A and B are shown apart, each in its own frame.
With several copies, the nearest count.
Chain A
Amino acid sequence: MDSIGKAELVPLFASLRDVFISQRDYLIDLDGKVGDSDLGLTMNKAFLAAYESVSANSADAVGRTLQLAGMAMAKAAPSTMGTLVATGFMRGGKALESFSSIGSAEMSLFWAAFLNGVIERGKAKRGDKTLIDVLAPVSESLGTSVACAATLPEALARAAEAAAKGLDATKGMIAQHGKAACFQEKTLGLQDAGATVGFLIVDTLRAFVAERKK
């Protein structure tokens, strides 16, 4: 599958929903180490709401559908990550307003806008041990893929790899934002919970497109 059209959004968001159902306890655990243990619950709520929104708005254009999914997430999960991810989908969706399907180029646009939205909303920067440490390499990787004219499956495979590396790198960082920031040095060695969510989204996209390719 070389691009994601309107019709694929419902099954895509069903996958995302299912991933966050299955990763619920894992995320609760991760957030519990230096946070308040709610991440598994809020991401569950967020992606359930997103799936329902996408189902209800599947007649709309892709960009619009993604924006509405973001709004639904914001409503369902007003936690830090809920708000940041919601922002990402709203901004990413807005960037795709004039497109009817999502190929490599659009995917790159989407994540660039997603990343910018998260930066603008949360005022964190790379290296602060957040979601951004996954999103930034993802966005860069997708930019490179577009320049190299990679297919969507290829581009997402490389992006997911970049996400995994970015995620691993958060272990070496000291948290600067949110509840974890209070723990400072104690966050060294721990994988950031929000960054894990970023990885999971990108990796689910990769798997979804790879699966459909067959």
Chain B
Amino acid sequence: MKKFLNVPENFVDEMLEGIYAAHPQQLACAAGDLRCIVSARPVKGKVGIATGGGSGHLPLFLGYVGTGLLDGCAVGGVFQSPSADQMLEVTRAINQGAGALYIYGNYSGDIMNFDMAAEMADLEGIKVLSLVGNDDVASSPKGQEHKRRGVAGIFFIYKAAGAAAAEGMALDEVKRVAEKVKANVRTMGVALTSCIVPEVGHASFSIGENEMEIGMGIHGEPGIRRGALRQADEVVDEMMQPILADLPFVRGDEVAVLVNGLGATPKEELYVIFRRVASILKEAGIAVFHVYVGEYATSMEMAGASISLLKLDDETRRLLARPAQSPFFEQQQL
């Protein structure tokens, strides 16, 4: 296990101490709990947006707490849900009287804890709505979207909902925007190597020296097909086909693209991937509004990548274009 860490049990908390130490003007911890992260720049009267999930996916989840983005986040151990109580603390801290929206991924532990937190917040008179990201086309067939896992595409939901809340939209409206983005985003991933959970100490799964797994989840959940690693263009073709067919994305659509690295894949390779994505979209008559390339949702040091497409309309385009800023993500007005 080639990792920079001290005692594996302390990994998450030491990482968080590092994050607070690095970004004291931007992030604060709520209720004295390191794992409850909130923006140090609260905005009065704004709808609060919270997320959360296991650690090990930086910049997901806490990396999107910032201006024009999310207001708070609870994180658990590596790949483990935070507690409902921690979510509740975050909810209390970000509540500005306008209620809160939870946006998180479709994992049973997270769902149970967020639902419970919402219930507890409700008892305290804080109105909470929830939205579960499920963009991973590989994880269940069409028609069973509710079973799909949430992966990198959640970035688009954060970005648009964050901009909507920053514009002053009410809770229902922010939720409506988030739902719209959720309905229009699709992702496929491919993994080349495993990651290592510090407390476990060895690879989470094994994969052959020349193998790839199309559709593997960000915790190593089984994908669609394991096979020999092929040329980048072929791999991209195999990923783009189900993405395009699923929504479907059609001639005349305008999209935003996210080519996401899972941890160990160099940015150079992500651009080799985008090159093919761009040519496929061009061929298909689909216009590209904006492109994000980099690490937006990782699995520790897993090598691999995912491609997300978001179909835009005037409103989501406007919201995506808004400036945003966090210690992990900055964007000027597009």
Binding stretch for chain B, among A26-34, A67-75, A151-159, A160-168: A67-75
Least Cβ–Cβ distance between A63 and chain B, in angstroms: 12
A121, B112: Cβ atoms closer than 8 Å? yes
- Residue of B with least CB distance to A72: B85
Contact of B85 among A67, A71, A84, A177 (CB under 8 A): A71
A83, B113: Cβ atoms closer than 8 Å? yes
Residues 106 to 151 of chain A near chain B (Cβ within 8 Å): 120-123
Q: Which residues on the B side are within 8 Å of A182 (C-beta)?
A: 221-222
> Is B84 located at the chain interface by the 8 A CB criterion?
yes
Assembly CA distance A79 to B296 (angstroms): 26
B108, A80: Cβ atoms closer than 8 Å? yes
Contact of B84 among A78, A177, A178 (CB under 8 A): A78
> Is A90 located at the chain interface by the 8 A CB criterion?
yes
Contact of B112 among A71, A87, A90 (CB under 8 A): A87
Contact of A121 among B83, B116, B123 (CB under 8 A): B116
> Is B233 located at the chain interface by the 8 A CB criterion?
no
> Is A86 located at the chain interface by the 8 A CB criterion?
yes
Least Cβ–Cβ distance between A114 and chain B, in angstroms: 14
Interface residues on B, range: 20 to 34
Interface residues on A, range: 20 to 34
- Residue of B with least CB distance to A118: B112
A78, B119: Cβ atoms closer than 8 Å? no
Residues 80 to 96 of chain A near chain B (Cβ within 8 Å): 80, 83-84, 86-87, 90
> Is B115 located at the chain interface by the 8 A CB criterion?
yes
Assembly CA distance A71 to B82 (angstroms): 14
- Residue of A with least CB distance to B222: A182
Q: Which of B76, B111, B112 has the most CB of A within 10 A?
A: B112
Q: Which residues on the B side are within 8 Å of A80 (C-beta)?
A: 108-109, 112
Assembly CA distance A83 to B107 (angstroms): 14
Q: Which residues on the A side are within 8 Å of B80 (C-beta)?
A: 78-79
B120, A83: Cβ atoms closer than 8 Å? no
Assembly CA distance A3 to B24 (angstroms): 55
> Is B306 located at the chain interface by the 8 A CB criterion?
no
A78-B83 in contact given A83-B116, A86-B116, A121-B115 (Cβ < 8 Å): yes
Assembly CA distance A96 to B222 (angstroms): 43
Contact of A83 among B109, B123, B222 (CB under 8 A): B109
Least Cβ–Cβ distance between B226 and chain A, in angstroms: 15
Contact of A122 among B85, B86, B108, B119 (CB under 8 A): B108
Residues 62 to 115 of chain B near chain A (Cβ within 8 Å): 76, 80-86, 108-109, 111-113, 115
B residues whose Cβ falls under 8 Å from a Cβ of A: 76, 80-86, 108-109, 111-113, 115-116, 119-120, 123, 221-222
Kindly list 14 other residue pairs between chains A and B, CB separation below 8 angstroms, not including A78-B80, A79-B109. A67-B123, A74-B85, A75-B83, A78-B83, A78-B86, A79-B80, A80-B109, A80-B112, A83-B84, A83-B112, A84-B112, A87-B119, A122-B108, A182-B221
Name 5 interchain pairs, CB-CB below 8 A, sorted by A. Answer: A77-B83, A78-B82, A79-B81, A87-B119, A122-B112
Question: What are the 7 A-B residue pairs with the smallest beta carbon separation, nearest first?
Answer: A78-B83, A75-B85, A83-B112, A74-B84, A121-B112, A74-B85, A75-B83
